[in-house]
Amino acid sequence: MPEIQIGGLVPFTTIDYPGKLAAVLFLRGCPLRCAYCSNRHLLDLGDGEYDPEKVFDFLRARVGKLEAVVFSGGEALMQSDALIEYMRRVKDLGFAIGLHTNGFYPEQLQRASEIVDWVGLDFKTTRENYRALVGNDIAYDRMVACLDTWLKTGHGLEVRTTCDPHFVSKSDLLEIAKILAARGVKNFAVQKYVPHFDDERDATTAADREQFFNDTEYRNKINAMFDTVIWRE
Ligand code: SF4
């Protein structure tokens, strides 16, 4: 079996798994090429910078101090068997297992559902805008398949949309919220777009980025569709 390739580690976080102190592992490899990706150094499935056994020893030493380990990326599910095996070992230490995913691998997500307790799923934009944002024709349908797969498990779920004004308008976000509410999603997170690169050709303004957050009537309309909405600014 191939060894898991780990490209990054956050040893302590309070914001990446709801209600739990967690560590986050960033796995190498991603099938998408999002315009706003801030983890471009992780996109190729090359050798990980971290020795998986040393990371495992680190996690074992955190038993009783941390409550959860979150697998992020890149796209963690791209590493399929190596990921599942490693997750199982980490779960056996007693940690809750979280997964941040872009939703490109519904079959792998189904397999991981025996181990993973909570998922943060990216619903990046509308079907019409998906290809332009992520550079892939089939990503939207796969993401929706992942959403339905995970909803069936009844396990913890947060769906997130990052509001890059190049690809998400206020009416787009409303459309996404309606789709999610109709499918039975309870927890939605609206994330502010933070530009990571100089985009001199088509720069966004602070007002573009804040338009989703400073309209109380609009926020209330979305809040009313879910049990919880986190407005992550
Ligand atoms: S899914 Fe995430 S890691 Fe992959 S390209 Fe998009 S933003 Fe980057």
Domain ranges of the chain: 6-232
State residue 200's pLDDT score.
58
CATH for 6-232 is 3.20.20.70
Q: How far, in Å, is the centroid of ligand 1 from the Cα of 64?
A: 32
d(CA 30, CA 227): 31
d(CA 171, CA 177): 10
Q: Hey, how many other C-beta atoms are within 10 angstroms of the C-beta on 53?
A: 9
Q: How far, in Å, is the centroid of ligand 1 from the Cα of 80?
A: 17
d(CA 231, CA 179): 18
Q: How far, in Å, is the centroid of ligand 1 from the Cα of 75?
A: 7
**In the chain, % of residues over pLDDT 70:** 97
3 state DSSP class of 27: strand
Task: Report the pLDDT averaged over residues 46-71.
Answer: 96
Is any ligand 1 atom within 6 A of the Cβ of residue 70? no
- Closest-lying ligand 1 atom to the alpha carbon of residue 31: 4
Going from the C-alpha of 112 to that of each of 26, 161, 174, the distances in angstroms are: 17, 23, 30
Is any ligand 1 atom within 6 A of the Cβ of residue 33? yes
Is any ligand 1 atom within 6 A of the Cβ of residue 75? yes
Is any ligand 1 atom within 6 A of the Cβ of residue 181? no
Is any ligand 1 atom within 6 A of the Cβ of residue 164? no
- Give the H or E element holding residue 99: strand 96-101
pLDDT in tens, 173-209: 999 999 999 999 999 999 999 887 666 566 888 999 9
Is any ligand 1 atom within 6 A of the Cβ of residue 125? no
Residue-averaged pLDDT of the chain: 95
Is any ligand 1 atom within 6 A of the Cβ of residue 34? yes
Question: Are 14 and 57 in contact, with CB atoms under 8 Å apart?
Answer: no
Is any ligand 1 atom within 6 A of the Cβ of residue 30? yes
Closest CA to 161 of 206, 226, 105: 226
Asked whether the whole model's pTM tops 0.85, one would answer: yes
pLDDT value at 218 more than 80: yes
pLDDT band at 53 (very low <50, low <70, confident <90, very high): very high
pLDDT in tens, 165-181: 999 999 999 999 999 99
Q: How far, in Å, is the centroid of ligand 1 from the Cα of 99?
A: 14
